[in-house]
Chain A
Amino acid sequence: MTSEPIVRLEGISKAYGKAQALHPMDLTIAPGEFVTFLGPSGCGKSTTLRILGGFETSDTGRIILDGQDVTAQPPEKRKVNMVFQDYALFPHMTVAQNISFGLELKGLGKAEIKQRLDEVMSFLELAPFATRYASQLSGGQRQRVALARALAPDPALLLLDEPLGALDAKLRGQVQMELKAIQRRTDKTFLFVTHDQDEALTMSDRIVVMNGGRIEQDGTPEDLYFHPQTRFVAEFIGATNLIDGTVRGLDGAAQEVVLDWRGIELRGQAPAGAPQTGQEVSASLRLEKIALGAERPATRNAVMGRIVDKTFLGSRVAVNIVVPEAGDALLRAYADSDVTARLGDAPVWLGWDSHALSVLRH
């Protein structure tokens, strides 16, 4: 990252009574990034967002926003706007009045307000609803008004706390796309919160996975999906095979970990802070990274197995494979339906590269 970060959190934390909702945490966000906080309920996502917005005070640390220390500033002073989960539209104001609210308080002139209002409303296709009240709008329309209201004052950072939670599944998918497109077009920095992993994967430039008030892992969606660093991330995002083994050694040049998996030698990718020889570790192997075939594959890892179960999923088939050499351990994989048909009941070869097998941090 070459540019100055738009947000820098330095050791912020929060305790409610004895419960530590948020452990000291550092995070930087670059301008124009779409960053998502992903994690199970109660992991501290909202708390972090509310500290950034100024609705909660951090027990420790500093918040640097656009180069300025805002730790002690109240919400109205911060150049940050929030889209609330319940949208929090003012019920006694029309759509246009809701959107103008922040502009008026910024001290803009009448003409400027009108211009910015029209701009935002046409951008979000809200013009036909300008004189309606929130109670006269659909869920998706309300969501757009909340977004318009937060975008109108041109904040340095937009906070979105599960803004799609109230929408039904179909609308949700559509709004996800819209939101992502809006973020690209406005080039704004978005900090988005969700506990839905698919939502996080489709929308984000970067995902911060949180658990129990701590950051588990921070990376691109591909990074998190294919190279999880912890067991929590591997299990929380997508389906995976977890392989438990003992470290036999490290292949320094290739940055590979040599694993003993119930007597079979496997090669996997080392996590940050490589494990010691003899240590018990887990490794994650995504289902789609396993190639099935009749011949022994040329990949770094190859084991022999037998298909015991197939589930037809439409475009592909999920198969359960027993590996006799590894004490009848079970692996799951995806295959094309014609491949499984061709293989029949014959033994199959399973192959995957060493970087497909992510050894997890302990």
Chain B
Amino acid sequence: MTRNGRVWLSVFFWAFVVYLFVPLLLMILMGFKDSKFIGFPIRSWTLDWYLGVFDNGEVIATFGYSLWIAVASTLISILMGTWLALLLSGRRFVGRFAVYALTLLPALVPGIISAIAFRIYARQIGIEPGMGAIIWAHAVHNVPFVALVVMARLSTLPKSLGEAARDLGADPLVTFMRVTLPYLKPAIIGASIFCLLLSFDDFVRSFFLGSYEPTLPVLIFAKLRSGMSPEINAISTVALILTAVLGVWAERSSRRMNREN
């Protein structure tokens, strides 16, 4: 690469960093402002907003609610997605392409459209808005990501590995549990983290399918409408830090697993 090219590249990179982190930094800082209104200048500082987050029963409950939805929907999408990936990577069968297309479809439909569709359909078949409906919508939305990640991993599984297990006395089920599944583990863990974050972060589906109990993004949205206060910044920052920790941990553990394999 030419010298000029390198300079431009680093300019773009730093522009990207500024674009990404300055708003976050402002958000974090604003949570320390000792005033009811968001905006510069910050004359005096306080920890009250942050401490308030951990004191606020509503926020804590919403946090737990969101987490519970994330975990439940992730479990469902992992089971469904892995099963579909195995089905699609295995023996050919009639209608395979149709199953493949249907598996990927939820990733392609815009969130707002699928959210409204889910809402209408849920009412038709008598599903009440609330946790179940949100979990259902999140799970369906996340299945394609799981299926794609697991299929990519499966395509690198040497055929001889399963044969070696059979050769050494493992029936098909034991082969799956002791060889195939451990081989898929890094992909499944990676996909789980991704699903957790997607679900935790989702607003549109949770908004349309929720009842009176809000998920965290919905709560933040509701609070925004009733006026901007540094409390929102503090809540968002705590959520940000938790998801970032989860992301970094996932990245490191998947890197460790790759080293082993």
A residues near B (Cβ < 8 Å) are: 53-55, 74-76, 80-82, 84-86, 88-92, 101-102, 105-106, 133, 135, 149-150, 153
Contacts and interface: CB of A to CB of B under 8 A. Distances in A.
A90 B163 CA distance: 11
Contacts of A153: 168-169
Contacts of A92: 182-183, 185, 260-261
Nearest to B157: A91
Nearest to A53: B167
B164 interface: yes
28 contacts: A53-B163, A53-B167, A54-B167, A55-B163, A75-B167, A76-B166, A76-B167, A81-B167, A82-B167, A84-B160, A85-B160, A86-B158, A88-B158, A88-B160, A88-B164, A89-B164, A90-B161, A90-B179, A91-B260, A92-B182, A92-B261, A101-B168, A102-B168, A105-B168, A105-B169, A105-B174, A133-B261, A135-B259
B38 interface: no
A91 B174 CA distance: 16
8 closest cross-chain pairs (CB), A and B: A105-B169, A102-B168, A88-B160, A88-B164, A75-B166, A92-B182, A91-B261, A84-B160
Contacts of A101: 165, 168, 170, 178
B55 interface: no
B28 to A, nearest CB: 40
Contacts of B179: 90
Given A53-B167, A88-B163, 13 more contacts: A54-B167, A74-B171, A76-B167, A82-B167, A84-B163, A88-B161, A88-B164, A90-B161, A92-B185, A101-B178, A102-B169, A150-B168, A153-B169
B260 A133 contact: yes
A54 B166 CA distance: 9
A106 B167 contact: no
Given A91-B183, A135-B260, A135-B261, A86 B167 contact: no
Contact of B164 (A80, A84, A133, A135): A84
Contacts, number: 71
B135 to A, nearest CB: 31
Interface of B: 158, 160-161, 163-171, 174, 178-179, 182-183, 185, 259-261
Nearest to A80: B167
A270 B221 CA distance: 96
Contacts of B261: 91-92, 133, 135
B183 A75 contact: no
A63 to B, nearest CB: 15
Nearest to A152: B168
A253 B178 CA distance: 66
B253 to A, nearest CB: 14
A75 B174 CA distance: 13
A81 B169 CA distance: 9
- Output the residue of A80, A105, A149 with the most chain B CB within 10 A: A105
B171 A90 contact: no
B255 to A, nearest CB: 14
Given A92-B185, A105-B174, A74 B260 contact: no
Given A84-B160, A88-B161, A149 B183 contact: no
A178 B119 CA distance: 70
B260 A82 contact: no
A135 B260 CA distance: 7
Contacts of B169: 76, 102, 105-106, 153
A172 B185 CA distance: 35
A60 B161 CA distance: 27
A285 B96 CA distance: 59
B180 to A, nearest CB: 11
Contacts of A81: 167-168
B170 A76 contact: yes
Given A91-B183, A92-B261, A133-B260, A82 B170 contact: no
B257 to A, nearest CB: 9
A107 to B, nearest CB: 9
A85 B178 CA distance: 21
Contacts of B166: 54-55, 74-76
A223 B161 CA distance: 38
A112 to B, nearest CB: 15
B111 to A, nearest CB: 37
A106 to B, nearest CB: 6
Nearest to A55: B163
Nearest to A82: B167
Contacts of B259: 135
B202 to A, nearest CB: 33
Most buried by A among B164, B168, B183, B261: B168
A91 B162 CA distance: 12
A104 B172 CA distance: 16
Nearest to A100: B168
A82 B185 contact: no
Nearest to B260: A133
A92 B185 CA distance: 10
